Amino acid sequence: MPEIGEVARIVNYIHKNLVGKSLAVVKAQHDENVFGKVGTSAAEFEKTLTGKKVVDAEQQGKYFWLVMSSPPHPLFHFGMAGWWKIRNLETAYYRPSKPQEDIWPPKYWKFTLETASDDPKQPKSEHAFVDFRRFARIRLVDCAAQDLRNVSPLKENGPDPVLDKDILTEEWLVQKLQSKHIPVKALLLDQANISGIGNWVGDELLFDAKIHPEQYSNTLTPAQMKQLHKSIQYVCSTAVELLAESDKFPEHWLFKHRWGKGKKDDPQRLPNGEKIKFITVGGRTSAIVPSVQKKTGEVAGDIDDDENEGNEKPKSTKRKAPKKEAEDDEEPVNSDSKPRKASKSKKKAVKEEPDNDDADQANSNNVPIREQPPPSKKAKGKVKTEAKNSSHASNKANAPRTPKTSKAGVEPKAIEETDGLRRSTRVSAAAR
């Protein structure tokens, strides 16, 4: 998501290429998410802007707007993947991995603007707002330009760390931190508290302040809160001054080394070898350096320890299949041969049994753990033969017997009984 630095980059491009010019052609295609959810339509947008002059462009955090020669004024938010493009000029803050198609209007455009070209020294400029994920928002705010920050939605947003330094003082921040009992990163990401801080900026300033993102805001020490204020000012101001040009960011920044998460054989580390780990805070993936960002107070959940810090997974709590389950997976054998164990794939299926609280959770063969399948046809044949030859065997098995010693000193019926049990065991194994 474009954050405070990326939005400042676009405002800079607008100042250079659009401010002071009149809009000769305005085209918009309606998107119920982008326009409709905030009470605007593409037709209204076209009608309002056509023929007007762009007087200025301003920003508050992740919001930016055009100051027109008369109200209403268009107010924009990029959402997750929105962006502002200018024909024949690269505005991206990163280098695309693949060559971009040279088409105009660009894919996923929501509106295009074309300036008048009366002056040959100032050729026309063409602009487009694009968003393939449709989380962007385009509004028309009908008020005086100087009052824009005092009406919705800007008035519900907190101070801008760069523009409102007179508001976002150390004392203000201390009061805000102490009034909340939430993870400090969650507080920073809430635009109602501070405008413009997104995921990567939040990670960067917490790394600079040496604060763990999960620590509750009201457990920070006075020294930590003082340093956090300095880090907010430093990181946000630097990102804006450099217009989010990441190649120009300081080499010691976490930003320069955090990307590439999940690549095989490529653990994320700082140049000094300190490991970068990833955790989830406030529903967002957060990059941290555990050796730098220590937990010094109560932490969200308060159950993590140093061993489980970062993206290391805690010990598995999955239920293991009973030992008998593995034994039941043996193949049927003759009495003269040793049992052959189940294949590795079968054992693995038992070991990787899904974690579920239901007692009848199915294993990899879709058979409930406590429910055994019926015996095979071969096994049924053995059972029927045994039943035919000894229909009263089950009654004898439960009846008291008088031991009769054979020549070998073993009671004959016991041998037959033992054989029967062995056969029964083999039948059960075959069934399983």
Q: Could you tell me the CA-to-CA distances from 374 to 371, 378, 428, 430 in Å, in that order?
A: 10, 11, 9, 10
What is the three-class DSSP state of 278?
strand
What is the three-class DSSP state of 382?
helix
- Pairwise CA distance, residues 53 & 379, whole Å: 89
Known catalytic residues are 2-3, 62
In sequence order, what DSSP letters do the residues of 21-87 get, joined into one string? -BEEEEEE---TTTTGGGT--HHHHHHHHTT-BEEEEEEETTEEEEEESSS-EEEEE-TTT-EEEET
Quick check: 209 and 224 in contact, CB under 8 A? yes
Q: Is 119 exposed, middle or buried (0-12, 13-18, 19+ CB in 10 A)?
A: exposed
Tally of CB atoms within 10 A around 186: 20
Quick check: 228 and 173 in contact, CB under 8 A? yes
- Pairwise CA distance, residues 238 & 235, whole Å: 5
What is the three-class DSSP state of 236?
helix
Q: How far, rounded to the nearest angstrom, does the alpha carbon of residue 196 sit from its chain's CA centroid? A: 20
Quick check: 330 and 342 in contact, CB under 8 A? yes
Number of H-type helices and E-type strands within the chain: 11, 10
52 closest CA partner among 23, 91, 16, 84: 23
Tally of CB atoms within 10 A around 342: 18
- Pairwise CA distance, residues 84 & 90, whole Å: 10
